[in-house]
Amino acid sequence: MTKINLLSHKISFFSTQPYDQTFFEKYNADFGFELEFFDIQLNEQTVTLVDNKAIVCVFVNDVVNAAVIKKLAEKEVKIIALRCAGFNNVDLEAAKKHGIQVCRVPAYSPEAVAEHAMAMILTLNRKTHKAYNRVREQNFSLHGLLGFDLHGKTIGIIGTGNIGKAFSKIAKGFGSTVVAYDVVKDSGMEADGVQYVALDTLIKKSDIISLHCPLNDETRHLINKKTLAQMKTNVMIINTSRGALINTSDVIKGLKSGKVGYLGIDVYEQEEKLFFRDLSEDIIQDDKIQRLMSFPNVLVTAHQAFFTNEALTQIALITLSNVKELALNGQTKDQLTQLV
């Protein structure tokens, strides 16, 4: 492995929010990198902002395709550090071809995401958001707030990695029966009483389906017309993973027909045009998100599942450690370019 002497180079962050700057500046005190923050997304136009030989740090909706990577390579960029777990937005083959190392933060707080998935379930089920507003207007009626017990219900988890496992523990704490599907079974989950089943069995049996697998060619539009047709009527679907796991048009049809009883999404297929910004004064052109938000049984949060103090601390510490290790030794355990 070639050594890369990049310790003295600056790290250029894209898609940053004020909290990113706060956490990275705080923890960089122990690392001493020069940090530069851009609030805009990295893409084929904004790549021009990157200085020669800089280290580039990106998030979930930055565009790191072959064209962007080629331009980064022309600027002699050697490291792309993702400050997130999912890496579907990065062309790893192109990075490898140009000798650019890519690393990520594989797990910063799986509990943060798992707890948010359960928060979405509880909100959709027990309608605390409606109760909050209602009581403030002195309306103490319970009409329309009827929920169901999670105890005894079947929760299907698709993807039992770090987040799926953390979510399973929470679901079991509620007394739910947990069934799971993953391309790799986890013996610890089985020892905890979780039954692995085929995907179509999970889809047919579950009262609630929670998605915790990555987005890839196999999982894109996993929730579609065909899988929706197999689900129980009134099923609850929770997606805190990646938007394109769900075919949005199909799920809208499922909501209109009553097949889907509840939908909780922290991620959305076209989220890069919407999330992480205040668009309250804008006319939103995306009719699908507008339709989704018009349903009373749909809860949309704007990719906030990871957003806890503990997670932001780990994201900053692990990202900076990864960059340091790559700069000093040319490798880190969280390297993605080794996958291709």
Which of these is catalytic: 83, 104, 212, 242?
242
Alpha-carbon span 201 to 204, nearest angstrom: 5
Tell me how far, at minimum, the Cβ of 9 lies from ligand NAI, in Å.
27
Which of these is catalytic: 9, 111, 116, 271?
271
What residues line the site for ligand NAI (CB under 6 A)?
A: 85-86, 107, 110, 113, 158-164, 181-184, 212-215, 218-219, 240-242, 266-267, 303, 305-306
Tell me how far, at minimum, the Cβ of 59 lies from ligand NAI, in Å.
10
Which contiguous run of DSSP H or E holds residue 102?
Answer: strand 101-103
Alpha-carbon span 228 to 247, nearest angstrom: 10
Tell me how far, at minimum, the Cβ of 87 lies from ligand NAI, in Å.
8
Of 280, 273, 272, which is closest to residue 59 (Cα–Cα)?
A: 272
SS3 per residue for 251-279: HHHHHHHCCEEEEEECCCCCHHHCCCCCC
Compare residues 125 and 219 and give the one whose CB is closer to ligand NAI. 219
Nearest residue to ligand NAI by CB is 161
Contact between 87 and 316 (Cβ < 8 Å): no
* 93: annotated active-site residue: no
* 242: annotated active-site residue: yes
Tell me how far, at minimum, the Cβ of 6 lies from ligand NAI, in Å.
27
* 303: annotated active-site residue: yes
Alpha-carbon span 6 to 169, nearest angstrom: 41
State the Cα angle at 154 between 122 and 256, rounded to 5°: 65
Compare residues 69 and 336 and give the one whose CB is closer to ligand NAI. 336
Catalytic residues: 242, 271, 303
